[in-house]
């Protein structure tokens, strides 16, 4: 009987892992070392904001030397609670863009209306480079006999969460017996380690990827499925997108599904978010938005052989520099071209911190609570050169582009963990999988993916919530609008429409 209880405890730990982690237990595809599990409509990172420090640049000399000082940070969603820049790499077309902040914060935000290098992250395609998706603190290999079947799985233990526990009673049938236990979603377990998403350390990605190979990653026999019965497909939710068909490994269980973790960012108390920045490609209207690029020396900004190109204004095509601020055209940004979106107000001598002398410098989007909304398409262009047909949307700590985004590591704060969040990135040319990765002092990456919108557009929200220390990527209904204000109820409701297709990632402390 005692051995039976041990097996039940192990089984509950396994089911707990499935309920809280990514959806890789349902099957995965391995494309030359990059693991892609299930297509989802939402990816939520929780426990974001472990205290730490990064090297804040304080000096960039004409001789190519740089100086820095430690910058300490703490609090929900740090260090990305500070000013961030938004980056879009082609092939991509931005149809509409908006940024929202709480109403009290928006009153202090200055507003102004205005009419070529690789993405700086660990996804660099250099020889021998390792593509890291999260850091596993400890991995336990567990083998047990359940219902006469010998099953094995790996528990990746991340340690207890700082989030208050939420107890849920779970009932399941294991080995012909009905058993119950109390699930505490984020608290430490007294019987087995709390399991989290399986970390994958893929190898570098070649220029031309081989056809995907299906890797079986089955759940044990009679383990409950974690998805609701007959879930609504991603294609139904977003009819304009050509979603690839996932290849899940299913369970034969007849028991009911485990409840998932609390959904949505959970903004409390009730309040209002005001739209502080807006762009519409069709009407060519902008408010408090500036389009920049790493094209210093081409009409604006500076270039030298120590640091390369600084920020400059981008031309309307997003392909070269310009002498003054331009409105991004209603067309596709081509492969390997990158457009950087900042606010409409220029940096003063003190209010942005240090930035490269001679550079075009603008404020980024500030706050631990903020919402970004995108309407975009990522059509195929069949380019196979450097960064060819590899679209991406990501955000950076705005200190990075204001110093040097692509240059000496000691001359920007990226390598010391000041912050990057890859929202939707293709990792090899022609990929239809869009991955997300968090790069801070506690890096993390989710192996589920969004489907690349190749034949239509996708509407997407990225929600930062300080009350829950979460960052949530959420696919929106195709009829979603970008209004002047959003209530917290609107945001919470928006994030509760994933119909079970949610991937949860709890960041290690």
Mean pLDDT by 10 residues, the chain (509 residues): 37 38 82 87 93 96 96 95 98 99 71 38 33 34 41 36 38 44 34 36 34 33 30 32 35 31 60 97 98 98 96 98 98 97 93 95 97 98 90 98 95 95 95 94 89 96 94 95 95 83 86
- Tell me: do 369 and 457 sit in the same domain: yes
Q: What is the DSSP string of 138-156?
A: EEEEEEEEETTEEEEEEEE
Residue 26, pLDDT score: 86
Instruction: Determine the Cα–Cα distance for residues 248 and 27; give it in Å rounded to an integer.
Output: 5
Residue 37 lies in a domain: no
- Tell me: do 331 and 185 sit in the same domain: no
Token pair in block for residue 70: 């430690």
Overall domain count for the chain: 2
Residue 350, pLDDT score: 81
CB 463 within 8 A of CB 469: no
CB 404 within 8 A of CB 417: no
Residue 199 lies in a domain: yes
- Tell me: do 272 and 330 sit in the same domain: yes
Give me the phi and psi of 375, to 5 degrees please. -125, 115
- Tell me: do 100 and 139 sit in the same domain: no
- Tell me: do 145 and 186 sit in the same domain: yes
Residue 70 lies in a domain: yes
- Tell me: do 183 and 75 sit in the same domain: no
- Tell me: do 117 and 153 sit in the same domain: no
Residue 247 lies in a domain: no
- Tell me: do 111 and 225 sit in the same domain: no
- Tell me: do 163 and 277 sit in the same domain: no
Among 191, 218, 237, identify where a domain stops.
237
Residue with tokens 């055209």: 329
Residue 10, pLDDT score: 36
CB under 8 Å to 436, separation ≥6 — which residues? 43, 45, 421, 422, 423, 424, 425, 445, 446, 450, 473
Residue 244 lies in a domain: no
Residue 255 lies in a domain: no
- Tell me: do 172 and 289 sit in the same domain: no
3-state secondary structure 451-503: ECCCCCCEEEEEEEECCCCEEEEEECCCCCCCCCEEEHHHHHHHCCCCCCCEE
- Tell me: do 328 and 222 sit in the same domain: no
Residue 289 lies in a domain: yes
Residue 401, pLDDT score: 98
**pTM, entire model:** 0.70
Torsion of CA 312, 313, 317, 318, to 10 degrees: 40
Q: What is the CA radius of gyration of the chain?
A: 23
- Tell me: do 94 and 208 sit in the same domain: no
Q: Which domain holds residue 378?
A: 43-126+265-506
Distance of CA 94 to the CA centre of its chain: 18
Token pair in block for residue 296: 């210093």
- Vertex 33, ends 32 and 34: CA angle to 5°? 100
């Amino acid at each position: 009987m005692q051995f039976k209880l041990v097996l039940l405890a192990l089984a509950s730990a396994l089911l707990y892992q499935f309920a809280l982690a990514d959806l890789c237990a349902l099957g995965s595809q391995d494309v030359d070392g990059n693991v892609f599990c299930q297509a989802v409509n939402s990816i939520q990172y929780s426990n974001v904001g472990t205290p730490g420090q990064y090297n804040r640049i304080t000096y960039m000399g004409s001789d190519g030397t740089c100086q820095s000082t430690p910058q300490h940070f703490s609090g929900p969603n740090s260090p990305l609670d500070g000013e961030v820049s938004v980056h879009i790499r082609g092939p991509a077309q931005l149809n509409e863009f908006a940024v929202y902040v709480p109403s009290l914060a928006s009153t202090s935000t200055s507003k102004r209306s205005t009419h070529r290098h690789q993405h700086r992250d660990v996804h660099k395609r250099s020889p021998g480079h390792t593509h890291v998706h999260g850091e596993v603190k400890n991995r336990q290999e567990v083998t047990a006999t359940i219902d006469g079947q010998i099953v094995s799985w790996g528990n990746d233990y991340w340690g207890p969460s700082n989030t208050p526990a939420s107890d849920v009673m779970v009932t399941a049938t294991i080995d012909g017996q009905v058993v119950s236990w109390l699930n505490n979603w984020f608290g430490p377990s007294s019987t087995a380690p709390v399991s989290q998403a399986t970390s994958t350390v893929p190898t570098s990605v070649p220029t031309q990827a081989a056809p995907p190979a299906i890797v079986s990653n089955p759940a044990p026999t009679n383990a409950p499925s974690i998805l609701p019965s007959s879930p609504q497909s991603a294609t139904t939710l977003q009819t304009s997108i050509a979603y690839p068909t996932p290849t899940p490994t299913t369970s034969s269980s007849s028991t009911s599904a485990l409840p998932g973790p609390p959904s949505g960012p959970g903004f409390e108390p009730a309040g209002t978010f005001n739209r502080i920045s807006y762009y519409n490609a069709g009407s060519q209207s902008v408010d408090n938005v500036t389009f920049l690029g790493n094209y210093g020396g081409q009409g604006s900004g500076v270039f030298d052989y120590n640091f390369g190109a600084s920020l400059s204004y981008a031309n309307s095509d997003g392909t070269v520099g310009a002498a003054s601020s331009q409105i991004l055209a209603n067309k596709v940004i081509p492969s390997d071209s990158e457009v950087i979106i900042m606010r409409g107000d220029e940096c003063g001598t003190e209010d942005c911190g240090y930035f490269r002398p001679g550079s075009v410098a603008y404020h980024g989007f500030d706050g631990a609570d903020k919402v970004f909304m995108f309407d975009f398409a990522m059509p195929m262009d069949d380019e196979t050169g450097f960064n060819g047909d590899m679209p991406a949307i990501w955000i950076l700590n705005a200190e990075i582009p204001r110093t040097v985004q692509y240059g000496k590591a000691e001359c920007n704060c990226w390598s010391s963990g000041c912050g990057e969040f890859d929202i939707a990135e293709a990792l090899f040319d022609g990929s239809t999988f869009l991955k997300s990765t968090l790069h801070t002092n506690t890096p993390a990456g989710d192996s589920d993916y969004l489907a690349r919108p190749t034949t239509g557009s996708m509407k997407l929200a990225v929600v930062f919530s300080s009350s829950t220390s979460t960052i949530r990527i959420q696919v929106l209904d195709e009829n979603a609008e970008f209004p002047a204000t959003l209530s917290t109820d609107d945001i919470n409701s928006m994030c509760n429409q994933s119909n079970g297709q949610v991937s949860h990632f709890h960041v290690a402390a």
